[in-house]
Amino acid sequence: MENIDSKIRLLAFEWLHNQCQIYGNTIPRNVFEKGFIYESQRVPLIGPQGIFKPQILDLPLTITTSPKSPYADRLIADNYLLYKYRGTDPQHRDNKGLRELMKREIPLIYLFGVSVGKYTPTWPVYIVGDDQANLTFKVAVGEIVPDMSKMTPDIEATRRYLTVQTQYRLHQQRFREEVIAAYQERCAICRLHHPELLDATHIIPDSEPMGDPIINNGLALCNLHHAAFDRLIFGIRPDYMIEVRKDILEEEDGPMLQHGLQKFDQQKLILPRMHKNFPDPERLEIRYNKFKNFAENY
């Protein structure tokens, strides 16, 4: 059975890689529910509970943090996740399963819920600690670095960096899903309704003060308008009006320039349905002033 266990886990990792090529870093729940086929048997990767074992295996294959999980799963320093037990009984079969994975150093998959029905997978992850007093497992997650001493002599600093990177990636995926959902999966400039071509664009970049990953600091933009916004080809005033740079308006080029950028000058931004999700005027003003200063000196 151990040989089958190893085969299933390796197939699951390969399957996840392929799904990420199709969907990107955020995958719909129904894809995990459907899973893949091994010798005529379906192998799903998610179930109603956070610790999930498909029927074909004796030990859990995935652990999941749902977007509205009642458990206080959280990433901590040194690239670890504190993952809460199933219930309060340390001897529950799911908890015993994770404990056995730890004992045998068998990897599994972590699914992080970024929004209702959508998850970002991280693999492989390992159970490396068991705190029965606090009903918590310690899970090693994030990038796998074979020999961190080759990267830097400060191994602890490297681990802290990887933890931050893991947190950033997971929470940016949640930001993307929330922003695009707020705009009903349409570009706020041109109304393009293809989610696979949309980005969640920060009004204030996340590297700056007020660059929080919240809906009010986000715009759902197609790839073209995201790039144009980042490069200050157009700005958005606090009253939600779009302003295209003067030199762009005066430029003569093909139909893409005319219909993709110039025609939106002095048009109103398409706003979310709910007022609470509208772009923050204060952040828009800060970004608009940056656009104006650049345009005047271009």
Asked whether residue 157 is domain-assigned, the answer is: no
Domain that includes residue 221, residue range: 177-296
Same domain, 15 and 110: yes
Asked whether residue 40 is domain-assigned, the answer is: yes
Q: Tell me the backbone φ, ψ of residue 244, rounded to 5 degrees.
A: -90, 140
Asked whether residue 155 is domain-assigned, the answer is: no
**What is the rounded (10 degree) CA torsion for 26, 181, 33, 120?**
20
Find the length of the chain.
298
Structural domain tally of the chain? 2
Using alpha carbons only, what angle is made at residue 204 by residues 200 and 206, rounded to the nearest 5 degrees? Answer: 75
Say how far apart CA 291 and CA 233 lie, in whole Å. 8
Same domain, 279 and 232: yes
Same domain, 244 and 108: no
Question: What pLDDT is stored for residue 25 in this prediction?
Answer: 79
Per the listing, tokens 């093909």 go with: 254
For residue 117, the 8-state DSSP code is: T
Same domain, 104 and 240: no
CATH code for the domain of 115: 2.30.280
Q: Taking the CB of residue 266, how many other CB atoms lie within 10 A of it?
A: 10
Q: Tell me the pLDDT tens digit for each residue of 82-136.
A: 899 999 999 999 999 999 999 998 889 999 888 889 898 988 888 999 999 999 9
Consecutive 10-residue averages of pLDDT for the chain (298 residues)? 81 87 84 94 94 96 83 66 91 95 91 88 90 92 46 42 52 83 95 91 87 93 94 95 94 87 95 96 96 85
Asked if 266 and 249 count as a contact pair (C-beta separation under 8 A), the reply is no
Same domain, 131 and 7: yes
Asked whether residue 165 is domain-assigned, the answer is: no
Same domain, 27 and 144: yes
Question: What pLDDT is stored for residue 78 in this prediction?
Answer: 62
Question: What pLDDT is stored for residue 50 in this prediction?
Answer: 92
